[in-house]
Amino acid sequence: MNSATSGVTILLVVTIGSFLLTSGADEGLVSSLALWPLQINFMPWQLVTYAFLHGNVMHLAFNMYGLWLFGSEMEKLLGRRTFLQLYFASVLTAAAMQLLVTSLTGGLYPTVGASGGVFGLLLAYGVSFPKRRLMLLFPPIPISARVFVFLYAAIELTLGVTGAQSGVAHFAHLGGMVGGYLVMRNWRSKSQNQNRWY
């Protein structure tokens, strides 16, 4: 059983606290913190603040479960500083991808949720522990982390391209994976250099 590490605990507390505080807040305040397309209501701080907002309790619970499940393992491996870099890099690349998609499609709706950061952690988990077995909920079968990440990415790409599941920022999820990949690639490169003999 995973135990929440310090960086994960901080993110859990801040994200859940933000949800509770904004649940009864003025609609204008919440709107100013959500990620809006570049052509309407966009502000630079939204690149980060959107990740601390959630549409409902189920949205929050799903993301916080993923943060705890994958984040605790990644923080133990990387340390708190690199783990937080991983998470926020994924949040930023998810936001960048969402802004690109809404610019191309003309979407005029805001985006909220920590899914981009969680998907970055998922990618990093699959890269770091490719043979680790995960138990799916539907159907309840074990599957390796590497295969799970690949299948999830393929599903997100398919849903994003077809538009079969509206109201979900599928390309932002894929953007979060890009951030996770970039940070893990940089971390592995530095680790290999530090372990070389001179």
pLDDT of amino acid 174 = 93
pLDDT of amino acid 198 = 41
Angle, vertex CA 109, rays to CA 50 and CA 115, nearest 5: 40
- Tell me the chain's radius of gyration from C-alpha atoms: 17
The string of pLDDT tens digits covering residues 63-108 is 999 999 999 999 999 999 999 999 999 999 999 999 999 998 887 8
Q: Which domains does the chain have, with CATH numbers?
A: 6-194 (1.20.1540.10)
Average pLDDT over residues 176-180: 95
Is residue 53 within 8 A of residue 29, CB to CB? The reply is no
pLDDT of amino acid 96 = 96
Is residue 34 within 8 A of residue 46, CB to CB? The reply is yes
pLDDT of amino acid 161 = 81
**How far is the CA of 35 from the CAs of 27, 30, 57, 120, in angstroms?**
14, 10, 19, 18
pLDDT of amino acid 72 = 94
Per-residue pLDDT at 1 exceeds 60: no
Distance CA 93, CA 90 (A): 5
Supply the DSSP string of the chain, one letter for each residue.
Answer: -----HHHHHHHHHHHHHHHHHHTS-HHHHHHHSB--TTTT--TTHHHHGGG--SSHHHHHHHHHHHHHHHHHHHHHH-HHHHHHHHHHHHHHHHHHHHHHHHHHT----B--SHHHHHHHHHHHHHHSTT-EEE-SSS--EEEHHHHHHHHHHHHHHHHHHT-STTS-HHHHHHHHHHHHHHHHHHHHHHHHHT---
CA atoms within 13 A on the CB side of 72: 12
